[in-house]
Amino acid sequence: MSESSAHDVSHALLAHAAALASEVEASAVFVYADALSGDELPGGLAERMLAVVRSDEQEKEAQERGLRTIRVPSQLLTRMGQVKVAVLIALARGLLRPGDRIVCLAGIANSGNLDMLLVTDVGKEFEVFLAPSAGEAIVPYLHPEVLSRVLEIAVALGSEGREGKPVGTLFVVGDTEKVLPLTHQMILNPFHGYREEERNILDHRLEETVKELATVDGAFIIRGDGVIHSAGTYLKTSAFPEEGLPPGLGARHQAAAGISFVTDCIAVAVSQSTGTVTVFRNGKIVTALEKPPSAGAPR
């Protein structure tokens, strides 16, 4: 498709999105910001729209246009991966509720164009991530930006590995008071003795350290505000939900399911064999973000 034709498709999708959202009574329209030009948005779209941004620059530009934003990992994702991670973070921020219907516009990452429109209801795939009742926190004490940052690092590890080699790892986020008694260290804790502000996963200076430690067996235990308690940590729980896991998932995913089943945490597992990032809550898979195809391959 030529650049002009792709732009025409993007413009047409944006033009119809507001009318479609009104017709299907959608709560919001998700649009990836890298596909937005400086043109004026079609009438009625801005009021429902959530601009999905990957960078400070995109966030600033969208907010200057008066748009609400959702910050998602900067790594490339498949089209469905784009939708899944945006919905997950919107839920964590309380921007979506059980039963909400949303319209999503997505395209090839960083292409600057839209080519897919999806209408979906929240509450099926993501039901185990939702608060049990109105007004309650989805995951107690878990900051949405921490979840976004953990997903960003997990997706990067799943896509790129470490120094060209596949990496599998596990992040356990939130409810550390209940999680920690169910753990013991496999190695000396590399984060022990550092001040909390020096070991917060939101500090981008820690990214290379976290990626390097991901090559060590064991899990990262992370507080809901982003402070990393430990790495190389073994999970001792043997609890497991009755329905079990899909075939092909190994010990790391079983540990993720088990710890999220008996505590109020979220567990994010990176598969060494496939690069898929799987998110667990209440012992169940909330969603899986597949490793995107290599550059130039169809998505």
Cα dihedral: 100, 22, 66, 91 (round 10)? 10
Greater pLDDT, 235 or 34: 235
Does 243 have pLDDT greater than 60? Answer: yes
pLDDT digits (tens, 9 = 90+) for 274-284: 999 999 988 88
What's the rounded mean pLDDT across residues 57-84?
83
What's the rounded mean pLDDT across residues 148-174?
92
| Residue 274 · residue 63 · CB < 8 Å | no
Q: Which whole-number Å values give the CA distances from 121 to 98, 102, 173, in the listed order? A: 8, 6, 26
| Residue 218 · residue 233 · CB < 8 Å | yes
DSSP letter assigned to residue 117: E
Q: How confident is the model at residue 181 (pLDDT cuts 50, 70, 90)?
A: very high
Q: How confident is the model at residue 19 (pLDDT cuts 50, 70, 90)?
A: confident
Does 135 have pLDDT greater than 50? Answer: no
Residue 294's pLDDT is 61
| Residue 83 · residue 104 · CB < 8 Å | yes
What's the rounded mean pLDDT across residues 113-138?
64
* Partner residues linked to 105 by β-bridges: 31, 117
Greater pLDDT, 133 or 240: 240
Residue 43's pLDDT is 73
What are the CB-based long-range contacts (under 8 Å, 24+) for 211-215? 211/153, 211/156, 211/157, 211/162, 211/167, 212/162, 214/157, 214/162, 214/167, 214/169, 214/270, 215/162, 215/165, 215/167, 215/169
DSSP letter assigned to residue 41: P
Does 76 have pLDDT greater than 50? Answer: yes
11, containing H or E segment: helix 3-23
Residue 118's pLDDT is 87
Does 244 have pLDDT greater than 60? Answer: yes
pLDDT digits (tens, 9 = 90+) for 182-198: 999 989 999 999 999 99
Cα radius of gyration rounded to whole Å, the chain = 19
Task: Using DSSP, state whether 116 is helix, strand or coil.
Answer: strand
Q: How confident is the model at residue 199 (pLDDT cuts 50, 70, 90)?
A: very high
Does 6 have pLDDT greater than 80? Answer: no
Q: How confident is the model at residue 124 (pLDDT cuts 50, 70, 90)?
A: low
As a whole number of angstroms, the distance between CA 148 and CA 91 comes to 12
| Residue 191 · residue 294 · CB < 8 Å | no
Residue 157's pLDDT is 93
Helix 144-160 × helix 79-92 angle, to 10°? 160
Residue 4's pLDDT is 60
Distance of CA 267 to the CA centre of its chain: 12
Q: Where do the domains of the chain lie, and which CATH numbers do they carry?
A: 3-129 (3.40.1380.20), 144-289 (3.40.1700.10)
Does 133 have pLDDT greater than 70? Answer: no
